[in-house]
Chain A
Amino acid sequence: MTDEGAGPIVPGPVLRAPANRVSPQAIGFWTLSALLGDAVLVVGALVAWLVVPGAPGWVGLLVLLLAVAAVAHVVLMPRIRYRVHRWEVTDTAVHTREGWIGRETRIAPISRVQTVDSRQGALMRLFGLASITVTTASAAGPITVDCLDADTAAHVVARLTAITAATEGDAT
Chain B
Amino acid sequence: VIPSPGDGWVRLSPRKLLLDPVKAIGQAIVPVVVALVGISQSDMRFWPVVLPLAVVAPLVLGALPWLTTHYRLTDSQIQVRSGILNKTTSTAPLDRVRSVDLEASPLHRVLGLQKVQVGTGVDDDRITLDALASADAHALRTALLGRRVVAGPQVVEQSYATGPGTADLPADLPAEPAPAPAPLPVPAPALLATIDWSWLRFAPFSLGRLVLLVGGLGVLSQVADELPIWNETTATSAWEWLTQFAVVAVVVVLAVGGLALWLVVSVAGYVLQWWGFRLVREHGSLHLTAGLLTTRSITVEEAKVRGVEVTEPVLMRLVGGAELSTLATGVQSGVTQVLPPCPRTVAVGVGEAVLETPGPLTGALAEHGPRARRRSWFRQLRDALDLIALLAVGWWWLELTWWWLAALGAALLAAAAVVGEASYRHLGHALVGDHLVAGSGTLARVRTVLETDGIIGWVVSQGWWQRRIGLADLTATTAAGAERVVVRDVRLEVAVALADAATPGLLRDFVVPAGT
- List residues of A whose CB falls within 8 A of some B CB: 3-7, 11-16, 18, 88, 90, 92-93, 95, 99, 101-109, 112, 136-141, 143, 169-172
Is B266 in contact with chain A by the CB < 8 A criterion?
Answer: no
Q: Is the CB of A172 within 8 A of B329?
A: yes
- Would you give the 0/1 interface string for B502-516, flagging 1 where the beta carbon is closer than 8 Å to chain A? 010111011111110
Residues of A with C-beta under 8 A to B330: 172
Q: Is the CB of B513 within 8 A of A107?
A: no
**Selected contact of B494 from candidates A6, A139, A170, CB within 8 Å:** A6
Beyond the given A140-B484, A171-B479, A172-B480, could you list 9 further A-B residue pairs with CB under 8 A, ordered by the A residue number? A11-B493, A12-B496, A15-B512, A99-B462, A136-B479, A137-B479, A138-B483, A141-B459, A172-B329
Given contacts A138-B484, A140-B484, whether A95 and B329 have CB atoms under 8 Å apart is no
Given contacts A5-B370, A14-B493, A140-B483, whether A102 and B457 have CB atoms under 8 Å apart is no
B505 CB, min distance to chain A CBs, angstroms: 8
Q: Is the CB of A102 within 8 A of B510?
A: no
How big is the B interface, by class?
A: 35 or more
Residues of B with C-beta under 8 A to A12: 493-494, 496-497, 514
B274 CB, min distance to chain A CBs, angstroms: 30
Q: Is the CB of A138 within 8 A of B510?
A: no
**Selected contact of A5 from candidates B367, B484, B512, CB within 8 Å:** B367
Is B492 in contact with chain A by the CB < 8 A criterion?
Answer: yes
A-B contacts, 7 listed (Cβ < 8 Å): A3-B370, A5-B370, A12-B494, A12-B496, A15-B496, A92-B509, A106-B460
SS class, residues of chain B in contact with chain A: mixed
B461 (CB) vs chain A CBs: closest residue: A104
A1 (CB) vs chain B CBs: closest residue: B470
Q: Is the CB of B497 within 8 A of A101?
A: no
Given contacts A95-B510, A137-B479, whether A6 and B366 have CB atoms under 8 Å apart is yes
Q: Is the CB of B457 within 8 A of A6?
A: no
B398 CB, min distance to chain A CBs, angstroms: 23
- List residues of B whose CB falls within 8 A of some A CB: 96, 121, 153, 304, 329-330, 366-371, 454, 456-464, 466-467, 475, 477-480, 483-484, 491-494, 496-497, 499-500, 503, 505-507, 509-515
A75 CB, min distance to chain B CBs, angstroms: 18
Residues of B with C-beta under 8 A to A112: 456-457
Q: Is the CB of A92 within 8 A of B460?
A: no
Given contacts A3-B369, A107-B507, A140-B483, whether A102 and B462 have CB atoms under 8 Å apart is yes
B201 CB, min distance to chain A CBs, angstroms: 37
Given contacts A13-B500, A112-B457, whether A141 and B477 have CB atoms under 8 Å apart is yes
A16 to B511, CA, bound (A): 6
Q: Is the CB of B367 within 8 A of A16?
A: no
A5 to B370, CA, bound (A): 6
A138 to B478, CA, bound (A): 5
Residues of A with C-beta under 8 A to B515: 11
Residues of A with C-beta under 8 A to B491: 4, 6
Residues of B with C-beta under 8 A to A16: 510-512
Q: Is the CB of B493 within 8 A of A13?
A: yes
A5 (CB) vs chain B CBs: closest residue: B369
A172 to B497, CA, bound (A): 23
**Selected contact of A102 from candidates B369, B464, B479, CB within 8 Å:** B464
B513 (CB) vs chain A CBs: closest residue: A13
